Structure 1
């Protein structure tokens, strides 16, 4: 039997006999298909409850949690109906719910998946949570202490199990942290909203930003050395891949994929957390398809790290360094014939990514060279895409 050390306590990690196949082998772990959100409507007045239900359905929240079967009865099949019962012995009528959660003791129903709510407040209750998370379909977790260490331990215990974990969160900020614990985080979060807008914000957090961008091939038209100006280096709180960078450019409708300092350089070590971004007026693409000026960036802000295949992730800025340096202006054409621009530091060690993740030093670019970029059709107003006439040159 596997085990997990929790301070001075050994937590056993058994596979429930009920979950073994007939031949004694373990079932195939359920794939982790991304995070999801549940909304808790218990104890709400009818008017408030109905408003939250409408918001949850509109934003396609995964599940609604109630202790009243009548409230769940009229919900459409697009949402998971989660019924919480006081005792595993409570009788649940057929068709009343998709998931039945027992308080402290696993519950089940003939035509619904079973689960349990565990309040983790000390080492013994943590041991119980680590056992149950491998035995039931759904484990709803409430942690009484602000530290996320107990959640990390439960997530580790749940590895390769067939069940799902759902963690009760206090607010939107807490939900964002819980979703990232041990990288993949709790499978789901349960929030009792304070307003309908909380539901929209929570589902937006769960959906996250786009995980892929359609990058295009840019054709270099001209290069010009333009003298002194201010440029920025962006240092992040993440280690970057060799073909990973940020999308930057002078125009909102055409951005170049800059290269992180992950490749060897003469006279200095690699800095795999950094981009030598661009001049301070440049746009940088961030989450939610929003751009910001380089000069606006601050420690703690999010930006998108983009790889040459178009995959993206959100990373946080650790530091922005703005310094006066010689600058180089690079003009290139998008596939639809638009001329776009990037102004970067005029130095050999500043690089842009090209097709296939090729690395191109800006001082060695020539007309006709091919680079990788992003060419959205919409203009920008305060960083947000907007359909209006806008001539950038």
Structure 2
């Protein structure tokens, strides 16, 4: 140490010495994505608006180079003090949560010791193979690593995320805008732990909060009791091919009525005459509703390549997948009518063929041509009706 007020070490803190707050166990509990905003360079009303928006939208942290500003923040916001100095005053370290220091020049092994009350952060700019290697070393040893990537490719970020796996530290990646934030969040499925944005205005702060907010990852499925099965002749039906490989009990929610949809199975189960296609749903007739993100429905006939759709498992687990292709063809159709536990009548119309299946309790697979009254299927029965795909509480009689 240089003195009692200038705190610095010459080596990155080894993982064994990382505080308990970023131990492996704690890290697993805190792996939800979070966001920081950078208010350096702003002042007056603009800065106040950004700070208030961050507090209102429960943004995790605010980065500033003014320690007096950080002192005034409520405890719900992480105070991140950015500095270019290799040493920080002890009074500063006790006033903030993280001391974030730049790595520059040849001094790549230096990291600020933030003392007992704050944590150390390192800002690494990745611009070539050497700086990428340094970033990989840093994320394995530092409690916090802020990453700037100078090139548009996300491959360096993928490499750093892989290096950070099970390290105990956390990564925060600087993003250029909201669109970039959405991409960085998804890199290598897990993405960067945190995102740092320099917002243009308070609206950007709210949008950033939406980007990192976890989507609903479960849906409450209900049992449906089959009451009638009819062969109804020819019509157009759609196959939905996704850009993802689906599980054996995973499918989409589809139905003729917005107040009741059936869990349609993907083509993940063996067939005697063709290979399995674990990316496909033989969905249903073109008039059918399909559940998509944000609690919306779309008609099958409206779906297009690149759009998001929800994949749902028999346990109710939900994930978003992207459509790769929608294939509409004329085929014989079968109508399946069922009732919900509270007596509502629901319906689905699918291709009239043995290889089209609906899921039942426990992930049981039911060929539509073998269904009979009294069989139990899984579905979703929301209480609201729909208008232009959005839930609305109004009188609506679907039959």
Q: Residues 155 and 200 (structure 1 numbering): CA distance in 2 closer, same or farther, change over 3 Å?
A: same
- Residue deviations 1:126-154, cap 9 Å, x none? 12211111221100000000111111111
**What SS does the aligned partner of 1:288 have?**
coil
Structure 1 position 99, deviation (Å) = 1.2
**What SS does the aligned partner of 1:146 have?**
coil
In 2, distance between residues paired with 1:58 and 1:292? 33
Structure 1 position 55, deviation (Å) = 2.2
Number of the residue aligned with 2:96 = 97
In 1, distance between residues paired with 2:93 and 2:151? 37
Contact 1:169-1:175 within 8 A present in 2 as well: yes
Structure 1 position 73, deviation (Å) = 2.1
For residue 59 of structure 2, the aligned residue among 58, 61, 68 is 61
Give the CA RMSD over aligned residues. 1.9
Q: Residues 106 and 385 (structure 1 numbering): CA distance in 2 closer, same or farther, change over 3 Å?
A: farther
- After TM superposition, list the pairs within 5 Å mapping 1:129-278 onto structure 2: 129-278=135-284
For residue 327 of structure 2, the aligned residue among 315, 318, 321 is 321
The TM-score, its normalising length taken from structure 2, stands at 0.90
User: 1:355 and 2:368 equivalent?
Assistant: no
Contact 1:88-1:108 within 8 A present in 2 as well: no
Structure 1 position 334, deviation (Å) = 1.2
- Residue deviations 1:77-131, cap 9 Å, x none? 2221111112131325254211110011533322111101111111121122111
Stretch moving more, 241-250 or 66-75? 66-75
Number of the residue aligned with 1:84 = 82
Unmatched 5+ stretches in structure 1: 1-14
Number of the residue aligned with 1:118 = 124
- Residue deviations 1:311-342, cap 9 Å, x none? 01110000000111111111111122111111
**What SS does the aligned partner of 2:294 have?**
helix
Structure 1 position 282, deviation (Å) = 1.0
**What SS does the aligned partner of 1:313 have?**
strand
Number of the residue aligned with 2:352 = 346
In 2, distance between residues paired with 1:172 and 1:73? 28
Contact 1:65-1:81 within 8 A present in 2 as well: yes
Contact 2:15-2:167 within 8 A present in 1 as well: no
Contact 1:108-1:115 within 8 A present in 2 as well: no
Contact 1:302-1:316 within 8 A present in 2 as well: yes
In 1, distance between residues paired with 2:13 and 2:83? 24
User: 1:330 and 2:330 equivalent?
Assistant: no
Unmatched 5+ stretches in structure 2: 1-10, 104-109
The TM-score, its normalising length taken from structure 1, stands at 0.91
- Residue deviations 1:163-190, cap 9 Å, x none? 1000001112211221122221111111
Structure 1 position 20, deviation (Å) = 2.2
In 1, distance between residues paired with 2:126 and 2:162? 15
Number of the residue aligned with 1:284 = 290
Structure 1 position 356, deviation (Å) = 0.1
Structure 1 position 49, deviation (Å) = 2.0
In 2, distance between residues paired with 1:251 and 1:75? 50
Number of the residue aligned with 2:3 = none
Number of the residue aligned with 1:39 = 37
In 2, distance between residues paired with 1:346 and 1:197? 50
